[in-house]
Amino acid sequence: MPVTSYRTCPLCEATCGLEITVDDGRVTRIRGDRADVFSKGFICPKGSTLGELHEDPDRLRRPQIRRGETWTSVTWEEAFAEIEARLLPIREQHGRNSIGVYLGNPNVHGLAGTLYVRPLVKALGTRSVFSASTVDQMPKHVSSGLMFGHPLTIPVPDIDRTDYLLMMGANPKASNGSLATAPDWPGRMEAIRGRGGRIVVVDPRRTESAEMADEHLFIRPGTDAAWLAALVTEVMRLGKVDAGRLTDHTRGLDRLPEVLEGLDADRVDRLTGIPAATTRRIAAELAAAPTAVVYGRLGTHAAAFGTLASWLTDVLNLITGNLDRPGGAMFPRAATETPRRRPFTTGRWHSRVRQHPEALGELPVAALAEEILTPGDGQIRALITVAGNPARSTPDSEGLARALESLEFMVSVDIYVNETTRHADVILPGPSQLQRGHYDVFLSALAIRNVAHYTPPVLPLDDGAPDEWEILARLAGGEPDAVTDGILAEMVQAALTDDMSPLHGRDPSEVTGLLGSRRGPERILDLMLRTGPYRLTLDDLLAAPHGLDHGPLVPRLPDVLRTPSGMAELAPEPLIADVARLEAALDGGGAPVGGEAGFVLVGRRHLRSNNSWMHNVKVLVKGKPRCTLQVHPDDADRLGLADGDPADVTSRTGKLTAPVEVTDSIRPGVVSLPHGWGHNVPGVVLAVASEHAGVNSNLLADEEAFDPLSGNAVLNGIPVQVNRVAS
């Protein structure tokens, strides 16, 4: 008998509801859940492949131990015994920081990664912590921390109500959005125009999203911060600064004219490639629109001035009166929100080799290889990766591969033997997505509506296999239920002493009594929901398989501000200090790019791909190869390259050869390669992906190029040379 169940898609940030039909233990159909309160039936081609992922013969079902080149399936007890026998002596001999941790993107998309990774890091006691955040959104955390007092207090674009969307370095038609959770971005963009609103896209490529917009501006890569600074200056010159309701809750506005002096439309014209008249017009449009929102994402953040750009985005929203008001940039109120207290700082410690400051307890992943390869006290000798593929997603892949190979011991919690985990000694595979319950703790805190969904597992665990949270708890050195109790005890303690909490002043045992016999993340989630702003329980969510909708976002300032001053800080010192670096780039920059002068490389995403790990699903990789080097026809002519020809691409750190795709959708002087490819290396067990291998763009990303405030790598705007392959 076919059974229908509902599951939130865990693959990207859009959190679509899926309707899944299972017959005799096999998924027979996946389609969009039309009753879902948020996604209303929207689905993309990836969402319907969870069945293929589950059935993928290459997906690991049992722990693996590597001896030389050979992998052996072992029991879970054998795997954990091996880890204990090899990891503990390293820590005893070389200290806590000798064990490194790398946390990958899927951790954010699951309850286990969300709730059990921190206890793991705490149990290890290491400061050698790295994650995909420093090849992604760390600039937003840092600017939010400095401006609003907490790194997770991130404003999201209220795209359902805005009249004007200025979108930079984001391509939600392909990515379905990021730091702005909204199923069906494309439909919501159409709706903006449908109600007479305007969309302007700023991107060195005329993307699928740009095709949907009213206007597209070809910006020169890496110059978004300069352009945003000019927009702020021009709005100020127009005399249109109006923070509205927030005027009394804002500090530092008076410093901006002096700090940004001279950074105007004329000054950035040559550098950005955007004519001064256009910049002035956009500034005037932003100031005049009934509501408007500036939204920047990966192309703007994973760049040389990512934190400045992130800050200036919010400054622009604030001075045009659009921060924290409907149709502008707003702060979600998630059902699991906990009080945010900790004052924000960075640089509480530094990396050993190059003295990078930590941010959010992490070091820049661009420094991972050197921390492994450089001898001395505190050298990383063992590494644990959890749901990450740094060998494909972080800079200087060649250096990192050497580093991973040199480790004394490596454990990966992962479902594949891929470019990273092939270096591991032990791989611990969690169950497939369909075998786990799901709740988006992080993404619902970034959603453009206040919604909550919990979906239970669709399929049972394999016989005797632990759930992902149990694996992480065991790695943390504990018995899983005891680790859960430890997490709960901390949360209960915080709730009991918080006078805003419904549990304030109650007896701890009474509180845990409320949670019944649930185990693991569901037990913790139940507590988080009970103490959250809507006072829900997990049972409430189980009774609402299509989700609960708490409505559109509501203004939240000044309540959510956690800066020492209690104000929104428009001119935090570290950001002001970094403007000098931007000025220096302007002084030195503006030279033409392309041809003899060299090119700049940017990334891109495709709807049918997901970072590095969905290329083993046949229906997603079939068709035209997608890992191509996009080159403008004028550049191709000059270089003597035709569509499909191989071209050599060389940067300071590496070299690769990729097939050329000639397209006028890219700005002259710019070339683009997607990341996450390059699967044809020895030792990977990815039958389909190896046949559609592509090349690894992060061979070209430079481990010395990063945004100093956040430690985020520069993945967009990499100087490269492009040449015909000598025949």
Ligand X SMILES: Nc1nc2c(c(=O)[nH]1)N[C@H]1C(S)=C(S)[C@@H](COP(=O)(O)OP(=O)(O)OC[C@H]3O[C@@H](n4cnc5c(=O)[nH]c(N)nc54)[C@H](O)[C@@H]3O)O[C@H]1N2
> Given the rule CB under 6 A, which residues bind ligand X?
12-13, 104-106, 110, 132, 135-136, 168-172, 174-176, 178, 202-205, 207, 219, 221-222, 224, 297-300, 303, 386-390, 393, 413-416, 418, 430, 468, 602-607, 609-613, 675-676, 697-698, 701, 715-717
Query: Which residue lies nearest ligand X, judged by its C-beta?
Result: 299
9 touching ligand SF4, by CB under 6 A:
yes
User: What whole-number distance in Å separates Cα of residue 627 and Cα of residue 300?
Assistant: 22
| Helix 468-475 vs helix 520-531: crossing angle, to nearest 10 | 100
Near ligand SF4 by CB under 6 A: residue from 6, 7, 11, 440: 11
Report how far residue 442's alpha carbon sits from residue 109's, in angstroms, rounded to the nearest whole number: 8
Q: 227 φ, ψ to 5°?
A: -65, -40
Per-residue b or e along 301-337, where b marks 16 or more CB atoms closer than 10 Å to that residue's CB? bbbbbbbbbbbbbbbbbbbbbbbbbebbbbbbbbbbb
Which among 12-20, 302-310, 500-508, 512-520 is the span making contact with ligand SF4, rule CB under 6 A?
12-20
E-assigned strands of 48-183?
Answer: 64-67, 70-73, 99-103, 129-131, 156-157, 164-168
**Which of ligand X, ligand SF4, Mo ion, none sits in contact with 120, Cβ below 5 to 8 A by type?**
none
Cα dihedral 16, 17, 22, 28 in deg (nearest 10): -40
List of E strands, 406-494 = 409-413, 426-428, 449-452
Q: Which residues pair with 323 in a beta bridge?
A: 329
Query: Residues 87-90: contacts with CB within 8 Å, 24+ apart?
Result: 87/382, 87/409, 87/411, 90/381, 90/382, 90/408, 90/409
Judged by beta carbon distances under 5 to 8 A according to partner kind, the member of ligand SF4, Mo ion, ligand X, none in contact with residue 718 is: none
47 binds, among Mo ion, ligand X, ligand SF4, none (CB under 5 to 8 A by kind): ligand SF4
Q: 326: which residues sit within 8 A by CB, 6+ positions away?
A: 158, 161, 291, 552, 553, 555
Give whichever of 564 and 623 is closer to ligand SF4, judged by the CB atom. Answer: 623
The binder of 16, among ligand SF4, ligand X, Mo ion, none, by C-beta within 5 to 8 A per type, is: ligand SF4
Q: What single letter denotes the amino acid at residue 160?
A: D
Instruction: Choose one: 13-21, 288-296, 560-568, 649-657; the region binding ligand SF4 (CB under 6 A).
Output: 13-21
221 binds, among Mo ion, ligand SF4, ligand X, none (CB under 5 to 8 A by kind): ligand X
Q: Which is nearer to ligand X, 59 or 249 (CB)?
A: 59
- Please identify, among the stretches 6-14, 337-345, 492-500, 645-653, the one whose residues bind ligand SF4 according to the rule CB under 6 A: 6-14
Site mask for Mo ion (CB under 5 A), range 121-160, x = bound? ---------------x------------------------
Secondary structure class of 482 (helix, strand, coil): helix
635 binds Mo ion (CB under 5 A): no
CB of 418 to ligand X, least distance (A): 5
Total interface residues for ligand SF4 by CB under 6 A = 12
The helix/strand/coil state of 712 is strand
Binding mask 647-666 for ligand SF4 (x = CB under 6 A): --------------------
What letter does residue 600 receive in the DSSP assignment?
E
Cis peptide before 466 (omega within 30 of 0): no
Task: Report the site for ligand SF4 in 199-238 (rule: CB under 6 A).
Answer: none
Residue 16 contacts ligand SF4 per CB under 6 A: yes
For position 13 contacting Mo ion by CB under 5 A, the verdict is no
317, 323, 326, 330: CA torsion to nearest 10 = 110
Angle at 322 between CA 317 and CA 325, to 5 degrees: 135
- β-strands 599-602, 670-672 pairing: parallel
Near ligand SF4 by CB under 6 A: residue from 6, 14, 250, 525: 14
Of 158-197, which residues contact ligand SF4 (CB under 6 A)?
176, 183
Chain positions contacting Mo ion, by CB under 5 A: 136
Chain positions contacting ligand SF4, by CB under 6 A: 9, 11-12, 14-16, 43-44, 46-47, 176, 183
